Structure 1
Amino acid sequence: MLEYVNWFRHSTPYINQHRDCTFVLMLPGEAMVHANFNNIIHDIMLLSSLGVRLVLVHGSRPQIEERLAARGVQSRYHNDLRVTDLDTLGCVIDAVGSLRIAIEAQLCTQQSGSRLRVVGGNLVTAKPIGVVDGVDFHHTGEVRRIDRKAIARHLDEQNVVLLSSIGYSPTGEAFNLACEDVATSVAVALNADKLILFGEDAGIRNEQGELLRELKPTRAAPLLQQLGTSLPGNLLQAACKASNAGVRRSHIVSFADDGALLTELFTRDGGGTLVSQEAFEQVRGATIDDVSGLLELLRPLEEAGILVRRSREVLETEIGQFTLIERDGRIIGCAALYPLEGSSAAELACVAIDPTYRQGGRGDQLLQHIESQARSLKIDTLFVLTTRTAHWFRERGFVPSSVERLPAKRAALYNFQRNSKVFEKAL
């Protein structure tokens, strides 16, 4: 029970952060036949109840294949893209229509205490792909335009917008679209806060099978080549396209894992792969807006006597001395550099890392940043005073020193009651 309470408390910032945001969720046809789909529906209803503006885009590839097989129609592909002739289009319309009814029915259940209004319509204008390499793709198309104003109006009225992988031309024709194309185009048109793409796996894995928690589009080329036109490859391609077009964050999560969506959205580390131009975790200088976060990080260490207690007023005055590690908007590490007046030395102080993140080399990252900053200020000696972490500093080139070695003004402020050990490092 306590674990649940703690999780709920830590999710509060994300609940506030996501309220009134626009999320585009893409559910491939494979997700809708999986045993976990009912749980995904419940999680979608929860997001709506928390004030998230939702656009759902669903695919239908396996359902189309089933109908083609049942009718004895041969699937045709060129460059890994389906050729949609009239017989195939009939199967596409049948599959999409059946799936839409099933999704609407599930979203209209009142198990959560509220009934969602689901809307759709001819909100996606399509154009034919045409003839490529001499192959006529017939009714296979691509997105031409998204009716952004109409979708935004529905979202303003607290409706969930449900879109399929069918688009319509101004001449009244229907075209079979890739659901990734629809989802990405909608996210870009709406300037969505997030594009969430569901796949079978937890996210994108590297060649060693390790889950990549964060990925920038500029680093994705080798993975895209490796994954090809598989579902993970298509999802990663869509995420990179959205990111390059201005969508701040795209998430790839599993439709097979119960709670994957909530874990990705309401925990600091998530559970899938985040594709973003921005760094999920970054080292930066502190600002006055960071004081509350710093107090939260430092308080347990101050109470344990590891760090000297600093009041809010002191932190506000000295905030310019601090360097932070920020992870998804939360401060998980800090260090401060205090140049010592009348000398070419400085003091490294207040080095702290959130206990959850102490195994990732973040202390070394902060130290390197501080040393680089000190060198730019023409500082040639770095002092540190510590009661508990002497070995950590010694392992990083600091050598035992003494109070007498400190510049006079700093030595005069030495707290003999704390009896901190003094170390120094030549830069």
Structure 2
Amino acid sequence: MSNVFNFTFVPWFRSVAPYIHKLRGSTVVVGVAGEAIAAGKLPLIAQDLALIQSMGVQIVLVHGFRPQVNEQLQAKGHEAKYSHGMRITDSVALDCAQEAAGQLRYEIEAAFSQGLPNTPMAGATVRVISGNFITARPVGLIDGVDFIHSGLVRKVDTEGIQRTLDMGAMVLLSPFGFSPTGEAFNLTMEDVATSIAVALQADKLMFLTEVPGIALDAGAPHPAKDSEIDTELPLADAKKLLTALPQATQPTDTAFYLQHCIRACEGGVERSHILPFAVDGALLLEIYTHDGIGTMVVDEKLESVREATMDDVSGIVALIEPFEKDGTLVKRDRTEIERDAGNYTIIEHDGVIFGCAALYPYPEARTGEMAALTVSPDTQSQGDGERLLKRIETRAKAQGLQSIFVLTTRTMHWFLKRGFVQVNPDWLPEARKRKYNWDRKSQVLVKKIG
């Protein structure tokens, strides 16, 4: 049993390492919907946030309190009123919001103070600091509706928040703000989290909500209830989708969180995320795995195909090593890869290399060898192999080559489907024929590109 555990744990932990390194020192703003706390998810969310912080991430946590305020209103026999997707906060609702915020802040601080032995919080020292970091202004009148004590963020005390984060503390904020005259305003968690993320130029804005993300067919006239989630949505596509959607009036509407993600990205936040709190560990899955669990809105596609540099050698070695061990690829020394780094094309996603291929030209024969074509098992069947092949063909044409060839023992059919034809090893350029391993019996396949 122990050996099986080791076999799965070690490769998994190593695969997470690039994300841990990349996010160390970054700033993440997390907006947790009040529904998540009402559903009893707070202890697990606190454990995950404490773990993320322990790996060097600065965290600003903003909590929502819609269901808690509504519960307080109901207890007082007062009706909850909304318009334009916002709460109309009269004096009774403001009192309820203040009571709910006080109770939630107490619960959140208690969750981060746990440290029993043999629990995920054992040894975790999370200092949580709150403060009057938000200056607010009234929403005022919209279409004749007076929102009374409902407000919007006017200004964020970025210096105060950053100083607190630099002390090693987690910043906790309720959706409240105060005017310069001391008047309190009820804000929305989404507005506060987005405004803080933009003001801090945070690396990520993450909404932990009751919705799983943005469905792939969200813009269709009749989207399916069980449609797959779009894990990565470029900002341009997100904006186009938002214009096609009806105006959001409640948090479960597709446009509700999407509009805040778009605003954050337009304001300079690199990535904004919509995650389901119903999935245990959603924050960890989104931050530390390739595809994540919800929808990420990003200013541009994070995946890029480019030529390798010396800085990429370690990533290339780590990628191809398992395929060399199982015999799919011929063993290459690190020094050889360092020497030939300029021959490699890589596919990089969010700073992690997920695919590579090398081009070795034989100008005298007007051909070139495509070698070490590798795609990570995590992203196979997503078209990365085709993208690498296309880039290698482009590089070969630019060098005046008329064909490319590959030597393979296991993946012949993949190449045949993409226009390669099998030839006798005697076809190989003389210089390559001298290095051909007749014992390995690799098949030679050629594709014309001229």
Shorter-chain TM-score bucket reads: over 0.9
- Cα separation, 1, equivalents of 2:327 and 2:96: 70
Counterpart position of 1:197: 207
Asked if residue 336 in structure 1 is aligned to residue 374 in structure 2, the reply is no
Asked if residue 357 in structure 1 is aligned to residue 375 in structure 2, the reply is no
Alignment of 1:5-404 (within 5 A): 5-111=10-116, 112=121, 113-207=123-217, 208=224, 209-221=227-239, 223-224=241-242, 225-226=244-245, 228-229=247-248, 230-231=250-251, 232-404=254-426
- Cα separation, 2, equivalents of 1:398 and 1:267: 34
- Cα separation, 1, equivalents of 2:246 and 2:101: 27
Q: Give 3-state SS (helix, strand or coil) of 1:247's partner.
A: coil
**Is the Cα contact below 8 Å between 1:139 and 1:175 reproduced in 2?**
yes
**Is the Cα contact below 8 Å between 1:194 and 1:248 reproduced in 2?**
yes
- Cα separation, 1, equivalents of 2:36 and 2:303: 31
- Cα separation, 2, equivalents of 1:182 and 1:139: 16
CA distances 1:143-174 after superposition (whole Å, capped 9, x unpaired): 11100111111111111111111111111111
368-377 vs 218-227, which deviates more? 218-227
- Cα separation, 1, equivalents of 2:202 and 2:25: 11
**Is the Cα contact below 8 Å between 2:151 and 2:185 reproduced in 1?**
yes
280-289 vs 13-22, which deviates more? 13-22
Counterpart position of 2:437: 415
Tell me the C-alpha RMSD between the 2 structures: 2.1
Q: Give 3-state SS (helix, strand or coil) of 1:220's partner.
A: helix
Q: Which amino acid aligns with 1:132?
A: I
Q: Which amino acid aligns with 2:367?
A: A
175-184 vs 103-112, which deviates more? 103-112
Deviation, 1:5, is 4.3
**Is the Cα contact below 8 Å between 2:63 and 2:174 reproduced in 1?**
yes
CA distances 1:229-263 after superposition (whole Å, capped 9, x unpaired): 24253222222211121111222222122212122
Unaligned runs of 5+ in 2: 218-223
Q: Which amino acid aligns with 2:59?
A: L
- Cα separation, 2, equivalents of 1:298 and 1:117: 43
Deviation, 1:227, is 6.9
Unaligned runs of 5+ in 1: none
- Cα separation, 2, equivalents of 1:301 and 1:163: 48
CA distances 1:284-319 after superposition (whole Å, capped 9, x unpaired): 211111111111122222233332322112111211
Q: Give 3-state SS (helix, strand or coil) of 2:397's partner.
A: helix
**Is the Cα contact below 8 Å between 1:341 and 1:409 reproduced in 2?**
no
**Is the Cα contact below 8 Å between 2:36 and 2:208 reproduced in 1?**
yes
| TM-score, structure 1 as length reference | 0.93
**Cα distance change on mapping 1:373 and 1:196 into 2, 3 Å:** same
The list of structure 1 runs, each at least 4 consecutive aligned residues, that deviate by more than 6 angstroms after superposition, is none
Q: Which amino acid aligns with 2:355?
A: G
Q: Which amino acid aligns with 2:197?
A: A
CA distances 1:97-120 after superposition (whole Å, capped 9, x unpaired): 222222122222233234422211
- Cα separation, 2, equivalents of 1:313 and 1:192: 39
**Is the Cα contact below 8 Å between 2:367 and 2:403 reproduced in 1?**
yes
**Is the Cα contact below 8 Å between 1:347 and 1:383 reproduced in 2?**
yes
- Cα separation, 2, equivalents of 1:145 and 1:253: 27
Q: Which amino acid aligns with 1:289?
A: D
Q: Give 3-state SS (helix, strand or coil) of 1:268's partner.
A: coil
Q: Which amino acid aligns with 2:162?
A: A
84-93 vs 148-157, which deviates more? 84-93
Q: Give 3-state SS (helix, strand or coil) of 1:145's partner.
A: strand
Q: Give 3-state SS (helix, strand or coil) of 1:400's partner.
A: strand
| TM-score, structure 2 as length reference | 0.88
282-291 vs 324-333, which deviates more? 324-333
**Cα distance change on mapping 1:274 and 1:227 into 2, 3 Å:** farther
CA distances 1:59-113 after superposition (whole Å, capped 9, x unpaired): 1111222222232333333322222222322222222222222212222223323
**Cα distance change on mapping 1:131 and 1:227 into 2, 3 Å:** closer
What percentage of aligned pairs have identical amino acids? 45
- Cα separation, 1, equivalents of 2:201 and 2:414: 46
How many aligned positions are there? 427
Deviation, 1:333, is 1.5
Deviation, 1:280, is 3.4
**Is the Cα contact below 8 Å between 2:42 and 2:108 reproduced in 1?**
no
